[in-house]
């Protein structure tokens, strides 16, 4: 992975949330930034500690998101070190390198929680990562 394309995710995530997500009033805040309920399908690519592919990409459902992290629901557990999470909404794409914090069973699904490490810059009109 070319590290020249790595950027801080917070501003882009906050813009994305402000424009696309609803605040979850029932959420108990234990974080430094508010979380938002965002029921949205996302593309996820598992990565190892060297940021190489560590399995096949898959679709997951975002449960909630904040400026600093994300919770996903999926049918299978993951055990990789990092995830590349890609959120696409209204023609905009946000790609976030995410450190896996936990993966735990929640009834018939797995909750996959991660902390954003960086966003990946991309050139292109309408891209949520463009500054």
Q: For residue 33, is it left (φ>0), alpha (ψ between -120 and 50) or beta?
A: beta
Each residue's pLDDT tens digit, 47-75: 999 999 999 999 999 989 998 999 999 99
Average pLDDT of every residue of the chain: 78
Q: Say if residue 5's pLDDT is above 50.
A: no
Q: Domain segments of the chain: what residues?
A: 3-24+34-120
Whether the pLDDT of residue 83 is over 70: the answer is yes
3-24+34-120: CATH number = 2.40.10.220
- Rounded to two decimals, the pTM is 0.71
Q: Are strands 109-120 and 36-47 parallel, antiparallel or unpaired?
A: unpaired
Q: Is the pLDDT of residue 21 over 60?
A: no
Query: What is the C-alpha separation between 36 and 16, in angstroms, rounded?
Result: 11
11-49: burial string, b at 16+ Cβ within 10 Å, e else:
ebbebbbeebbeebeeeeeeeeeebbbbeeebebbbbee
pLDDT more than 90, % of the chain: 47
């Amino acid at each position: 992975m070319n590290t020249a394309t790595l950027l801080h995710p917070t501003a882009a995530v906050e813009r994305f949330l402000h424009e696309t997500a609803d605040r979850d009033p029932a959420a108990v805040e234990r974080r430094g930034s508010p979380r938002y309920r965002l029921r949205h399908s996302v593309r996820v690519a598992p990565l190892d500690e060297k940021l190489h592919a560590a399995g096949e990409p898959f679709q997951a459902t975002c449960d909630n998101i904040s400026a600093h992290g994300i919770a996903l629901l999926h049918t299978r557990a993951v055990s990789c070190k990092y995830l590349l999470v890609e959120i696409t909404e209204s023609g905009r794409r946000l790609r976030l390198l995410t450190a896996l914090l936990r993966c735990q069973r929640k009834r018939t699904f797995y909750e996959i929680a991660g902390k954003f490490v960086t966003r990946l810059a991309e050139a292109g009109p309408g891209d949520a990562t463009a500054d």
